[in-house]
Amino acid sequence: MKKNILTGDRPTGQLHIGHYCGALKNRVALQDEYNTYVMIADVQALTDNFNDPEKVRKNVFEVAKDNLAVGIDPQKTTIFIQSMVPEIAELTIFFSNLVTINRLKRNPTVKDEIKQKHALFKDDVTFGFLGYPVSQAADITAFQADLVPVGEDQLPMIEQTREIVRKFNSIYGETLKEPRAKVGDVPRVLGMDGRKMSKSLDNSITFTDSDEEIRNKIKGALTNEVGAKNLLSLLEQFSDEQKMVEKFNQEFKEGTIKYSELKPFLAQAIIEKLKPIQEKRAYYDQNPKIVEEILIEGTKKARMIAKETLAKVKEKMFINYF
């Protein structure tokens, strides 16, 4: 029997080459070996975008197309929309008894995010946002995931999921699988301004950027210490010309690197690697019905699996009345 993977993306913007290096490439490689579920986390996206539901809705389809474009194969992988699997929300309610407020407040990722979102939450935070790790535990366990491929920032979520699973199993009896995180081994790609790469910071390269946009973005990238290392790291990941990668790295060490040479070379490498992805992306853009069909099928299948888990959970909790 194949093991299960569950992973998710928040539909708050198009995915970009940061996601590609950090998560998507890995996800595509694993889909043959694992029974893979890719969840479009619209419910989670709403926890800090509840005041912009149109944005979330639009990006559900963008993120679906991005996944398909990089090679997620709907024959192998189940792609689905979180809110269309209400069993996850039910599990969240049951799990919420197994987590304390103080434990949630100590989650380092949530803690950071609350600080970053001061404009939204002021000096407080919503129940929904503070509790999103509980909902993420439900996402993962609904599919009895063995493995959760994520970025490093998500490790605290997986740790909390494991705690919830252990607590559930110890109270109600062995029911849920304790998942493991799988973090990619590539360094985190930064945006062209040296900050975290993010569509909303306008410093990313996406799968719908034209060649010219890519050239201009790389041209405008910072070349201070952090920026230069980021360009070299991108080169490492996008160029197949090992000799040139070594040459630029050597020149960087010696302080003789010419960014007027590195930048166009890197831009070209990215353009070439993205070409097949962009072509596929354009195909799905022109065929929205096909994307919708994939999501309908995926969601149907996902719901069947989540229902099975929920039935087991309810039985163990003695709430399977008739």
Residues within the interface to ligand TRP (CB under 6 A): 6-8, 10, 39, 41, 44, 136, 139-140, 148, 150, 154
What's the closest the beta carbon of residue 131 comes to ligand TRP, in angstroms?
A: 13
Structural tokens at position 290: 């096909």
What's the closest the beta carbon of residue 158 comes to ligand TRP, in angstroms?
A: 8
In contact, 7 and 150? CB cutoff 8 Å: yes
Q: 39 vs 231, which CB is nearer to ligand TRP?
A: 39
Q: 10 vs 16, which CB is nearer to ligand TRP?
A: 10
Q: 198 exposed, middle or buried (CB, 10 Å; 0-12, 13-18, 19+)?
A: middle
C-alpha pair distances (Å), 170 with each of 138, 163, 173, 195, 273: 17, 11, 6, 43, 48
What sign has the CA pseudo-torsion 186, 68, 75, 7?
positive
Q: 107 vs 278, which CB is nearer to ligand TRP?
A: 107
Q: Hey, is 194 helix, strand or coil? A: coil
What's the closest the beta carbon of residue 180 comes to ligand TRP, in angstroms?
A: 12
Q: Can you tell me which residue has the tokens 């080169």?
A: 235
What's the closest the beta carbon of residue 293 comes to ligand TRP, in angstroms?
A: 23
What's the closest the beta carbon of residue 21 comes to ligand TRP, in angstroms?
A: 14
What's the closest the beta carbon of residue 144 comes to ligand TRP, in angstroms?
A: 13
Q: What angle (nearest 5°) sits at the alpha carbon of residue 7, between those of residues 204 and 138?
A: 130
Q: 182 exposed, middle or buried (CB, 10 Å; 0-12, 13-18, 19+)?
A: middle
Rounded to whole angstroms, the Cα distance separating 80 from 304 reads: 12
What's the closest the beta carbon of residue 111 comes to ligand TRP, in angstroms?
A: 15
In contact, 101 and 107? CB cutoff 8 Å: no
What's the closest the beta carbon of residue 136 comes to ligand TRP, in angstroms?
A: 5
Q: 139 vs 269, which CB is nearer to ligand TRP?
A: 139
C-alpha pair distances (Å), 145 with each of 141, 161, 192, 308: 6, 11, 35, 14
For 249-287, b/e burial (b = at least 16 CB within 10 A) is: eeebeeeebebeebbebbbbbbbebbeebbebbeebeee
- Bridge-based pairing of strands 147-150 and 77-81 is unpaired
Q: 136 vs 208, which CB is nearer to ligand TRP?
A: 136
- Measured from each CB, the residue nearest to ligand TRP is 8
The helix (run of H) or strand (run of E) holding residue 56 is helix 53-70
